[in-house]
Amino acid sequence: MRDCSVVNLAYSRVVVRLRAQAEAAEAEYIAKHIPGAPFTNPPVSVQRNGTTRSRSRPSSRAPSPSRPAPASAPQFGSPFRSPLFKLRRAPMLRVFVPSPDGDWLSDTSVLECEAQLRRAGVTKLLRAGDVIWDIAVGDEGNIGKLIWDGNFLIDLDYSYSPCGDLPQYLHTLAFPPSYFHRVIRTSPAASPQGSNPIVHMNVSPWGEEIAANLLLLQDRMRTGVHFSQGSRHNVVRWVHRSSFVIRPPPAPVAARYGPNRTRIAPPRIPIPGTDLFVDPGWYGTVVIEAEGTNEGLADMQARCGAVFPQRTRKPANGKARDSRKVFRLMREKSRPGEIWMRTVTDQERLM
């Protein structure tokens, strides 16, 4: 068992060092071949005194319009591709901690995972959003996978999917839209939850734009395969659809270089209430869909903040406010420069 731990920690050390080498090589490539290119956001890092420190340590362990035209957003990044590490994609590091409680890692097991990372000298190289997999537990779905939040390892969120989704403590806008693709697995496409992952996003800063673009439309969709007939069917449904544009802040050309010809990062968009910034992968159009019902419209309006007149209802508690930030990222419709999302309501909660 000790040999298994040593091997997996050595693997994790190699992965984080390959990431550092790939990022250094990309920076050198940009400086040499693309002198006027803007920076991508630096990797998310959370300080111990920062506002994004996870609050989950004490209680994270549970008991066992017509379609809008896409905005012409610039594509950030560079043509550089590392042969050893895929940049702007979450790394999956490994530990080996047998769990006496089965698939669910106990507090003691999670603390031992953190201790292994510290002993291996990996903790100081971790970043918020890094995925840690305890391979001693298994390889089914997301069993044994934990997320580093900048200070601790935290669980996935099983509120909307039995397979697990990213917890609300990680700000989705701080990561590229495809950052966790195929690293955190999703439910099968034929399941009630579908294969679209849960994301947490506060869209109220763009509430006025969402309100101005809000439309009630008919939309065609294909149903799942009917097992008795083996075919799909087209159905028509009503949806409330809107969109907003995340525009990159302008950077004067003269400000791209400092006095010693050192490159200066352009302005970035802060995420309200945090010390983080919007990742350039989100720059462009974001399309939001909700059910074409009165309830779907009310939910969409509530997510826009104080733009719409407030209906007479009880003040929203913290749980209700958090539920207004839950969406599903619609992978089949999304593409670079145009991200599609669907609102998720409390009726879809599993726990």
Per residue, the 3-state secondary structure of the chain, as one string, reads: CHHHHHHHHHHHHHHHHHHHHHHHHHHHHHHHHCCCCCCCCCCCCCCCCCCCCCCCCCCCCCCCCCCCCCCCCCCCCCCCCCCCCCCCCCCEEEECCCCCCCCCCCHHHHHHHHHHHHHCCCHHHCCCCCEEEECCCCCCCCCCEEEECCCCEECCECCCCCCCECCCCCCHHHCCCCCCCCCCCCCCCCCCCCCCCEEECCCHHHHHHHHHHCEEEEEEEECCCECCCCECCEEEEEEEEEEEEECCCCCCHHHHECCCCCECCCCCCECCCCCCECCHHHCEEEEEEEECCHHHHHHHHHHCCCCCCCCCCCCCCHHHHHHCCEEEECCCCCECCEEEEEECCHHHCCC
User: According to the model, what pLDDT value does residue 146 have?
Assistant: 96
User: According to the model, what pLDDT value does residue 224 have?
Assistant: 56
pTM over 0.75: yes
User: According to the model, what pLDDT value does residue 172 have?
Assistant: 94
The answer to whether the beta carbons of residues 63 and 70 sit under 8 Å apart is no
Neighbours of 277 (CB within 10 A): 17
User: According to the model, what pLDDT value does residue 263 have?
Assistant: 58
pLDDT tens for each residue of the chain, 351 residues long = 778 889 999 999 999 999 999 998 888 887 777 655 555 555 555 444 444 444 444 444 444 444 444 444 444 556 778 888 889 899 999 999 998 887 889 999 999 999 999 998 999 999 999 999 999 998 888 999 999 999 999 999 999 998 999 999 999 999 999 999 999 999 887 777 778 999 999 999 999 999 999 999 998 776 655 545 556 667 888 999 999 999 988 865 544 555 555 556 668 899 988 889 999 999 999 999 999 999 999 999 999 988 887 665 555 666 777 889 999 999 999 999 999 999 999 999 987
